[in-house]
Structure 1
Amino acid sequence: MDDGNAPEVPPDVTARIDAALRTAPHPAAHALVRPQLSHAQWVGLLVGACALSLAAVGGAHLLADDSPPAFPAGPTASQITVSAPAFPLSAEEVRAVLTARPDLGPLTDPRRRAACLAGLGYIPDVDVLGGRRLDVSARPAVLLVLPGHTPGAVDAVVVDAECDADTAAPLARTSLHR
């Protein structure tokens, strides 16, 4: 495909290019020749191979080991215990509240008391048999003495003085016989 514009290559230039290509090393033969590794490279290769072997053996040993751990993993739910706070009054003091005039503090308000009782799981209009203000952990609280679940029993529940339906949680609770 000679378009007539390209100059003619002289035959001696073509002959020299042809001779140079025949005497040049073949690219595929050059690719097969590898350089020699230095002493430091051989040592690095050996250390790496040993480390890899050790990691494989150690990992296989750990995966196959069924023995219990030497140290516990930490506390579990079965090991955690929570002791209920001691009730702040003796049984005699609670019984004495039953014979005294109730002092319910802020829970004298029937709506607030009903909300607190409902939040504690009692019916809102349950008869409060007795009550007394007291401090629990330097916080104002109210002791409510309520009918128990069995005949002759009473529930003594200490709540925060600001108890309402949203914050009703007993600070202490006990049941006893009259």
Structure 2
Amino acid sequence: MTKKLTEMTKEELWQRFPIVLTCHQAHWAKWYREEEASLLAAFSGMPVVRISHIGSTAVKTIWAKPIVDILVETTPDCDWADLDKRLTCGGYLCMSRSEGRISYNKGYTVNGFAQRVFHLHVRIAGDNDELYFRDYLIENPGVARQYERLKLHLWKRYEHDRDGYTDAKTDFVRRYTKKAKERYTGRYGPVEK
């Protein structure tokens, strides 16, 4: 009998869902737009401030995991239980929760990845470093290539260790996010609704 995803250990999940990198695919932007429309409909009447395509699939010049990352920013008074219910009904699975942050995924099945896979990051408006990093990579192709080389170098070493892969990229991401926030001061500051 096959275990449910919620019953698997982190290590079992990493074996079932290894890190895979591929050259940029034009359909990722289309997948994002379609999922954004679905989310906007699901969040009707909720205090959602901004929905954004983040992560490497949003950067047309570099290789990426074929997983579309989406950032959803809400106001502090958002009813997170209602939001959770709406996302769960839409096929999302909650992966982690902390103060002011919830992460979901969609497209993970007991048989492996579905054709379309999404990671959804729900945050309070203004908790959006990923937007700055994304913009910096798009506007600085040399830095984007450095990031791509780093990811390709780490790929096979951490193929079945997502935490290790993420940790190994952290210094690079922090360094260029800091530069981006200095350059783009206030570009994505808290938004009043």
- Rg larger in structure: 1
TM-score between the two structures when normalised by the length of structure 1: 0.23
TM-score between the two structures when normalised by the length of structure 2: 0.22
Q: Greater helix share, 1 or 2? A: 2
